[in-house]
Structure 1
Amino acid sequence: MAPLRYALRYTAQGLEEVLLPLPQTLPGQEVGEVSLSHKPLEVYEAQGNLLARFALEEGEALEVRFRLRTTPLQAKPSWREALLREPPEAWPGILAHRGHRVERALGFLLSGRPHAWFLVDGLPLDPLLFQALGENPALLLPLGVAPDPRGYLGGHEGKRLLLFKTPWPGEEEPLRQSLRPLGLDPLPALRGLALASLGLSALGLATGPWPYLPYLGLLAFRQGPALKDLFRRSPRHALESLLFHAFALSVTTDPRPELGLGYLGLFFWNRLRPFSSAPRGSPEEA
């Protein structure tokens, strides 16, 4: 993945002295060109975290800008197969009981959503995404990935930033910063244009496919490889996305209700019958 620029932002709630984690290079993430909007009172490392202390006034915003390159982590630790026979919510406790060093990891998915997972002897363990992707394999398609849930026992998809880690079990404070990408992303504008063309076409003002095609082309560029992976693992989830765009394109030219009905059928089927409920040995579970 090519490096992209991001910003971490924190807004002071009052006159305060605040201690915040700074991004740093770790396995799966390479951080560079870090710039701070405010000069820190001190910067130091503690328990593997890079921390900075700032004095801020009420309403003052602190921004940390940096360049980030992320890569997937893949490992098959010895404890992986044993955990697959246990409920995911019990995994950290089982590993801690067996003498492994378990830490809580706090950070963000690159969509900007805060996310928490675990580190076991330094390797990622993400019970939350393991369960979520088991029910909906297309969950991370907007990030351009469709990973195998089993990869979260010792690895991750390479679309996240680890910002802070703390011993587990122990007190856990949520991150007080927000993450956003820097630079112009054309996708929201193209999505708006595409939806506007659908609305006009639905009102009888046919626009043709041209306003929708740039949005579809950018989606194909960003999500195409992931959609191919998704089709191998769960064809019905991949077809849901394809049917939606096929129906949307037909609305702008010659509406095809059967495509819309097919999309709705798959939409409800995929949510009423989660992926993890596929019988063992079925093509979806292979």
Structure 2
Amino acid sequence: MDLALRFLPHAPGEYLLPLPQSLPGQEVAGVFLSQKPLEAYEARGTLWARFALREGEALELRFRLKSYPVRETPPWRRALLQEPPEAWPGILAHRGHKVERALGFLLSGRPHTWFLVDGAPLDPLLHQTLRENPAHLLPLGVVPDPGVYLGGHEGKRLLLLKAPWPGEESLLWQELRALRPDPLPPLRALAFASLGLSALGLPTGPWPYLPYLALLAFRQGPALKDLLRRSPRHALESLLFHAFALSVSLNPRPELGLGYLALFFWNRLRPSSATPPKSPEEA
């Protein structure tokens, strides 16, 4: 996967930025910088480079990333399940473990922060989010079990900076994007434009919607099968939406739309628990 990081300074000066490197869960190659750094060095497990930038002069770093899931079973994971997720880093630090903040991006381009405990990933935020909404990472094509985040992660992220915990250090990189154009957004725009025309009485048929649906099925199909097993009502919400969308372009079925809306609100008013009772995690 070819990616680019971008930083745009708001004032002239020297800026110290972390560089991507190969670590557990990610292999980085083919790094190219739009500007030569003043210096580069390694400190606290992070690669750093210093740049002299003018105001408004964008710095871009291009690289090739191969990411993969991390699966570890540290001895502390079972003890944490009885505690609130927001307290996990403090509990582990109190017990003598080395806790660091990990700053980077999810491959959707959204900045994300998690923790490293003796080097093993710990992500309380996504653990809790996926317990409430197992479909949260479906756009990335994964539906991981929440327990993965106690010692691992889903393999759809980039770690850039290891920082002390507690601490206030932030990530200066402002954007992570794919270098190759993604066909999904224009196909989505075409699909929803056709739905709008059909709703206005100008039927377009299903053909403008089908390429978008086919690409979505290719990217999310295996994950949707996992979601159907883990939380059928969240999977059904997605299926009902597309069924209703197709019906709009052919023969509108209001009951499909009402079913989708009912599930949409039900899934948000009644959060799921992705770990069933008496599972090995809670035993």
Question: Measured at CA, do residues 73 and 41 of structure 1 come closer, stay the same or move farther in structure 2, by a change above 3 Å?
Answer: same
Q: Once the two structures are superposed, what CA deviation does each residue of 1:59-99 show, in whole Å capped at 9, x if it has no partner?
A: 00000000000000111111111100111011001111111
Equivalent residue number for residue 57 of structure 2: 60
5+ residue gaps, structure 2: none
Q: Once the two structures are superposed, what CA deviation does each residue of 1:25-64 show, in whole Å capped at 9, x if it has no partner?
A: 0000000000000010001000000000000000000000
| 1:197 paired to 2:221 | no
| 1:8 paired to 2:5 | yes
Equivalent residue number for residue 181 of structure 1: 178
Q: Percent identity?
A: 76
Partners of 1:143 and 1:149 in 2: how far apart?
15
Equivalent residue number for residue 116 of structure 1: 113
Q: Answer whether contact 1:11 1:62 (CA < 8 A) is retained.
A: yes
Partners of 2:226 and 2:274 in 1: how far apart?
20
Equivalent residue number for residue 30 of structure 1: 27
Partners of 1:36 and 1:94 in 2: how far apart?
40
Residue range with higher mean Cα deviation, 267-276 or 173-182: 173-182
1:281 Cα deviation after fit: 6.0
- Which residue of 73, 78, 86 maps to 1:76? 73
Structure 1 length as normaliser, TM-score? 0.95
Q: Answer whether contact 1:106 1:175 (CA < 8 A) is retained.
A: no
Aligned length: 280
Q: Answer whether contact 1:44 1:51 (CA < 8 A) is retained.
A: yes
1:248 Cα deviation after fit: 0.2
5+ residue gaps, structure 1: none
> Which consecutive segments of 4 or more residues in structure 1 shift more than 4 A?
none
Question: Measured at CA, do residues 278 and 70 of structure 1 come closer, stay the same or move farther in structure 2, by a change above 3 Å?
Answer: closer
SS at match of 1:184: coil
Tell me how large the CA RMSD over aligned residues is.
1.5
Equivalent residue number for residue 144 of structure 2: 147
Residue range with higher mean Cα deviation, 163-172 or 85-94: 163-172
1:1-286 to 2 correspondence within 5 Å? 4-276=1-273, 280=277
